[in-house]
Amino acid sequence: MGYELCLRRRAPDQALPDVSALTAALQAAGATGAEGALQFAAGGAKVPAKLARKDGQLQGVDLEIPFGAPDDDFRAAVLLGTLLSTKLNMALMDPQLGGELTPSRAEEAVGTWRTATKYAVDTAGIVEDARHMAPVEPAPPLIGPRGKAMLIVIGVLVVAYLVLSWVVGDLIQAPVRPID
């Protein structure tokens, strides 16, 4: 899961290169891997590149920047996408911005990137370690050691109160007169 950038045709009647030519162009631009699993290195992040198809027809290329990558890696991915769009004569589309990503809209895309990353982390706890450098830490406990101790003390006091009130209630009962 990550932030998507898409390379698409500039006009509906524009012809796209065939799959092998497009794959060769991506590999010439620095992609590693085979046709189905191409990857680019953008800064320190690995950016997967997938050939987008609709009803079996080639539509373009999708780049996905993993959430958790630093802003500099995102900027490097945007630069990579711009270079690819120029080389392949395609438009670099940003679905989150709702249009073509041009150099003048790069900072707007960075702002959207930050918002999307924050949303992914806040709602789903999703963050990918794009550089494989983040320490894996468990989530902080909901109740700390002091809170647990206080809950135990309160529980013991409640149980003691209930037991003592039951015992005292049984010992001190009003005498019952026999029914005549």
Question: The dihedral of CA 99, 101, 107, 111: what is its sign?
Answer: positive
Query: Phi and psi (nearest 5°) for 90?
Result: -130, 165
Q: Which of 5, 131, 136 is nearest to 68 (CA)?
A: 131
Beta carbons within 8 Å of 38's beta carbon, 6+ residues apart: 23, 26, 27, 31, 32, 48, 49, 50
Per-residue pLDDT of the chain (180 residues; tens, 9 = 90+): 688 888 888 887 877 777 777 788 777 877 777 766 777 777 777 788 888 888 877 788 888 888 777 788 888 888 888 888 888 888 889 888 888 888 888 888 889 988 888 887 777 665 555 555 455 566 778 889 999 999 999 999 999 999 999 888 877 776 677 776
